[in-house]
Amino acid sequence: MAREHDCDPCCLTHVRIPWVKKAVSVTAPARAVLWALAIAHADKETGRCWPAITTLASETGLSRWSVSRAVGELERLEAIEVERRHHKSTLYTICFNKDPASFRSSQHPEDVVALRTQLQGMFVAESTLS
């Protein structure tokens, strides 16, 4: 039986991208994972996805361990909900109804700014391919 989520789906990419960009206070790895989950994987109607840790590691350039820690951070900050399913993939739900400006982490601000610049460059590169 599926449990109900507090997260409202957000189906428009032009809303998702600014939402992720507002999450500037999370650690650099968490921001990279949030970017991958919210932009590359989340279902347009439900905000849910189930990428493997290996997939997220490959997409973000992080180690599997760093991705796992980033997922834990995002879950603690209530940016995502994580449902660990026995013998199935983990289900992630992006909490688009939460204000990303309220996400607070202990990472140094200069690290966050550096990743933000890198991610913006990645987005610009991807948008020119489409």
> What pLDDT sits at residue 94?
92
> What pLDDT sits at residue 69?
96
Domains of the chain, earliest start first: 13-122 (1.10.10.10)
Q: Residue 92: pLDDT above 80?
A: yes
Q: What is the mean pLDDT of residues 89-118?
A: 73
- For 49, residues 6+ apart whose C-beta sits below 8 A from its C-beta are 37, 41, 42, 43, 91, 92, 94
82-91, 92-101, 102-111, 112-121 — which is least confidently predicted? 102-111
Q: How far apart are CA 56 and CA 44, in angstroms?
A: 18
> What pLDDT sits at residue 91?
95
pLDDT digits (tens, 9 = 90+) for 45-70: 888 999 999 999 999 999 999 999 99
| Beta carbons of 65 and 25 less than 8 angstroms apart | no
Beta bridge partners of 82: 92
